[in-house]
Amino acid sequence: MMQWIAMITMLIDHIGAVFYPQVEELRVIGRIAFPIYAFAVYVGYKHTRNMKKYIMRLFWIAVISQIPFMAAFNHLSLNVVWTLLSGLLVLLALDRLPVRLLSIPIVIGAGWIMEITHMDYGMYGLILVLLFRYFQGAILVVGHFLLTAVYITLYSSSVQMYSVIATVGIAIAQYYGAGFRLKGPRWIWRYFYPAHLAIIALIRWI
Question: Among candidates 84, 119, 123, which has minimal Cα distance to 107?
Answer: 123
Among residues of the chain, what percentage have pLDDT more than 70? 96
Mean pLDDT of the chain: 93
Residue 127 pLDDT more than 70? yes
Angle at alpha carbon of residue 42, lines to 69 and 38, rounded to 5°: 35
| Res 157: pLDDT | 83
Cβ(125)–Cβ(119) below 8 Å: yes
pLDDT bracket for residue 66 (50, 70, 90): very high
Query: Quick count: other Cβ atoms within 10 Å of Cβ 69?
Result: 26
| Res 189: pLDDT | 75
Q: What are φ and ψ of residue 114, in 5° steps?
A: -65, -35
Of 76-85, 86-95, 152-161, the range with the lowest mean pLDDT is 152-161
Determine the Cα–Cα distance for residues 56 and 62; give it in Å rounded to an integer: 10
- Sorted by sequence, the CB contacts under 8 Å of residue 183 that are 6+ apart come out as 1, 3, 4
Determine the Cα–Cα distance for residues 83 and 129; give it in Å rounded to an integer: 10
Q: Taking the domains of the chain in order of start, what are their residue ranges?
A: 2-205
Residue 87 pLDDT more than 70? yes
2 or 59, greater pLDDT? 59
Determine the Cα–Cα distance for residues 115 and 51; give it in Å rounded to an integer: 25
HSE, CB side, 13 Å, CA atoms: give it for residue 162: 15
| Res 98: pLDDT | 83
State pLDDT tens for residues 143-198: 999 999 999 999 878 899 999 999 999 999 988 876 666 666 777 878 999 999 99
Determine the Cα–Cα distance for residues 14 and 22; give it in Å rounded to an integer: 13
Determine the Cα–Cα distance for residues 79 and 68; give it in Å rounded to an integer: 9
Of 60-64, 99-103, 121-125, 130-134, the range with the lowest mean pLDDT is 99-103
| Res 57: pLDDT | 96
| Res 188: pLDDT | 81
Residue 70 pLDDT more than 70? yes
State pLDDT tens for residues 17-44: 999 999 999 999 999 999 999 999 999 9
Q: How many helices (H) and strands (E) does the chain have?
A: 10, 0
Determine the Cα–Cα distance for residues 22 and 12; give it in Å rounded to an integer: 14
Average pLDDT over residues 77-87: 97
Residue 82 identity (one-letter amino acid): W
